[in-house]
A and B are shown apart, each in its own frame.
Chain A
């Protein structure tokens, strides 16, 4: 046992001393999640704006001019009635509508506060969020200028409304997919690389000649990645919660347990790859081409499985991430439990056992 702990400690040294490994392990999850969350469409400089001005005073004119000169917005459609807003959105004519209440300017100057409604298209949550961000910034700036001029506090109260998708669902749809992807990368890719590295450097031979049993060697290599992957799960969940407010409606304990199972599946995949690959390069190629790509394309992360042609739909069944996605989406977004996805859990479990059995067989063949 003592020798085994020493082995695991050594493995952590390897990880902590390799900057590339550390970057992939800890930088990637956060970068990915922020990329997916923000950068899918981050350069929006042609927001189609509509304004329904029920006040038509100098203040609303000034605000409108400010918005236009900010450079984010492309043209302004003047509306005359609230009923036009919905249609304009549906036809894709506008990205944002701003509604000034009657007597906006008067109220602002007299009471020091007035409210403005900002309506955006929730079916494209990223755009929606960015657009409201731009608008708030302009409004706040104007409010400041006005306050300085008037020498007293004024408050423009924006009220945000999101049409079509008030819950912002597609934002947090990507979190489960990202978890599936990152855990696969960290667990399968990193394990296969770290094991083949020992082969490449000739240290594997020394280990095999030592009294350590092969299973101890494999466990020793895998346990650090199990720990770090689990930390990654927590990182992703916490980042998603803090930055995007993604909830977990189901049991968090069950979510962690299912993630643990999926990590085991990915780790056994990594072990299997390392028994096939002779060098780190080959291991990396197999992991990226054989695991990463199918996971992105066929797991249902990006493209819905139901809309795939049947051969692809069939293939998607052997991709662990597909089952993990169903489980995590159910857990996080719908709040359902094991009674709904016990079958998917069982499939992941079966896959893991199968992979471990094959790896052990392959590992033995290599030895004799």
Chain B
């Protein structure tokens, strides 16, 4: 639990005059579930896009799995999994075809793909619907499948950008069980969410406000520091500058 897998220092991204991400610094350790919180427009997505190699930083340093975000984006892409807030499976392909396709673009061999597909179908109990089109499945099933597909090439780090949006509480619970299981296997989870109860599941959270990291610690420490009972209140205090923002 001591290896640093994401190392960010003074990372900044500007769009013209607007500074979307303002000198953020943090480290994420191997096997950690790191919650990345913030209101809409706080700069979460911009920060993630820099880490996964979709966006070039304006200044600062960052490495993911030991690869530099400026020069080694291709290596980063091979070592991470990603699931975005927008729904990311192909609606007009079947369950099996989606698995095959994503496994394929990550360069898995044919035998490996067959093995992995069977494994995923078995684990999610999707075997009976493997030949159904994705659009015929309930949202919860799709989200779980999307997560499994993001993990199909056994990445060391997985980035989840609001993975549980619009999903019912039971499915969210199951989803988090999957996340825990992966973390237990040594996978590092970098997750953004709007749900503050989910923030409680994380080992550590950082809360972004206006492009900066306003607070970062374990949920328990944060609640103690802000003298509140729920993460919800921590968030509200930070995001609304009128509150006691002295921490």
Residues of A within 8 A of B (CB): 2-3, 5-7, 9-10, 13-14, 17-18, 201-203, 205-213, 367-368
Contact = CB atoms under 8 A, between A and B. Distances in A.
Contacts of B88: 201-203, 205-206
Contacts of B26: none
B218 to A, nearest CB: 29
B87 A202 contact: yes
Contacts of A13: 90, 92-93, 97
B105 A210 contact: yes
A202 B100 contact: no
Interface string B89-117: 11111000100111011110110000000
Contacts of B109: 2
B93 A211 contact: no
B92 A3 contact: no
Contacts of A211: 74, 77-78, 105-107
A10 B93 CA distance: 8
A178 to B, nearest CB: 30
B86 A3 contact: no
Contacts of B34: none
A6 B77 contact: no
A10 B90 contact: yes
A205 B56 contact: no
B93 A3 contact: no
A201 B101 CA distance: 16
Contacts of B56: 368
A212 B153 CA distance: 14
List the 8 closest pairs (A to B, CB-CB), nearest first: A202-B86, A6-B104, A209-B82, A368-B56, A206-B88, A3-B105, A17-B92, A10-B101
A3 B106 contact: yes
A205 B83 CA distance: 9
B189 interface: no
20 contacts: A2-B110, A3-B104, A6-B100, A6-B104, A10-B101, A13-B92, A13-B93, A201-B90, A202-B85, A202-B87, A203-B88, A205-B54, A205-B88, A206-B83, A208-B54, A209-B77, A210-B105, A211-B77, A211-B105, A367-B54
Contacts of B87: 201-202
Contact of B54 (A3, A5, A17, A209): A209
Contacts of B52: 209
Nearest to B104: A6
B171 interface: no
A71 B86 CA distance: 63
B55 interface: yes
Q: Chain B: interface residue count, which band? A: 20 to 34
A7 B101 contact: yes
A10 B83 CA distance: 19
B88 to A, nearest CB: 5
Contacts of A205: 54, 82, 84, 86, 88
B211 interface: no
B92 A18 contact: yes
Given A3-B107, A210-B106, A14 B77 contact: no
B31 interface: no
A17 to B, nearest CB: 5
A210 to B, nearest CB: 5
A17 B91 CA distance: 11
A216 to B, nearest CB: 9
A368 B107 contact: no
B145 to A, nearest CB: 13
B231 interface: no
A18 B82 CA distance: 28
B21 to A, nearest CB: 15
A201 B86 contact: yes
Task: Name, among B74, B77, B100, B109, the residue most crowded by chain A CB atoms within 10 Å (CB to CB).
Answer: B77
A14 B56 CA distance: 32
A170 B91 CA distance: 46
Nearest to B107: A3
A202 B88 CA distance: 6
Contact of A203 (B54, B90, B107, B110): B90
Given A2-B107, A3-B105, A206-B84, 14 more contacts: A2-B109, A3-B107, A6-B100, A7-B105, A9-B101, A13-B90, A14-B93, A18-B92, A203-B88, A203-B90, A205-B86, A205-B88, A209-B53, A211-B77
Contacts of B104: 2-3, 5-7
Contacts of A209: 52-54, 77, 80, 82
A10 B82 CA distance: 20
Contact of B92 (A2, A6, A14, A206): A14
Nearest to A367: B54
A193 to B, nearest CB: 14
